[in-house]
Amino acid sequence: MDASQVIIRPVVSEKSYVLATANKYTFRVHPDAHKTQIKQAVEALFDDVKVLEVRTSKVPSKPKRRGITAGRTRAWKKAVVQVREGDTIPIFQGLEADL
């Protein structure tokens, strides 16, 4: 898998912004990607970033309703990546100051 296929997009939430202040960044990743692939993809996509730790979890689908129509959201996989002290990922830079 290519690095751009492993990392799908960053997760935008209040919790991810709080973690970003502690050098931990949250990404939505490919469901079949393992921790080594995620580490290599982050280091390849973002220059001068050294990954120390990767934690993954599967987010289950949830039931949703809109009137009589019922369905489910998609299940997905997320990864919390901890980088070296002093390293930053530029996607989250402007957002941390707003907290």
The CATH number that applies at residue 47 is 3.30.70.330
Instruction: Please state the domain count of the chain.
Output: 1
On whether residue 98 sits in a domain, the answer given is: no
- What is the residue-wise DSSP string for 6-68? HEEEE--SHHHHHHHTTTEEEEEE-TT--HHHHHHHHHHHSTT--EEEEEEEEE---EEEETT
Does residue 55 lie within any of the structural domains?
yes
The percentage of the chain sitting over the pLDDT mark of 90, rounded to a whole number, equals: 82
3-state DSSP call for residue 85? coil
In sequence order, the 6+-apart residues with CB closer than 8 A to the CB of 54 are: 35, 38, 39, 79, 80, 81, 82
pLDDT in tens, 31-66: 999 999 999 999 999 988 999 999 999 999 999 999
Domain assignment present for 83: yes
pTM of the model: 0.86
Range of the domain at 18: 3-64+72-87
Question: What local confidence, expressed as pLDDT, does residue 91 receive?
Answer: 77
Query: Does 92 reside within a domain?
Result: no
- CA dist 45 and 3 (Å) reads 7
- Asked whether residue 97 is assigned to any structural domain, the reply reads no
Residue 95 lies in a domain: no
* pLDDT for position 26: 96
Local confidence band at 1 (pLDDT 50, 70, 90 cut-offs): confident
Residue 96 lies in a domain: no
Residue 76: inside a domain: yes
Mean pLDDT computed over 19-41? 95
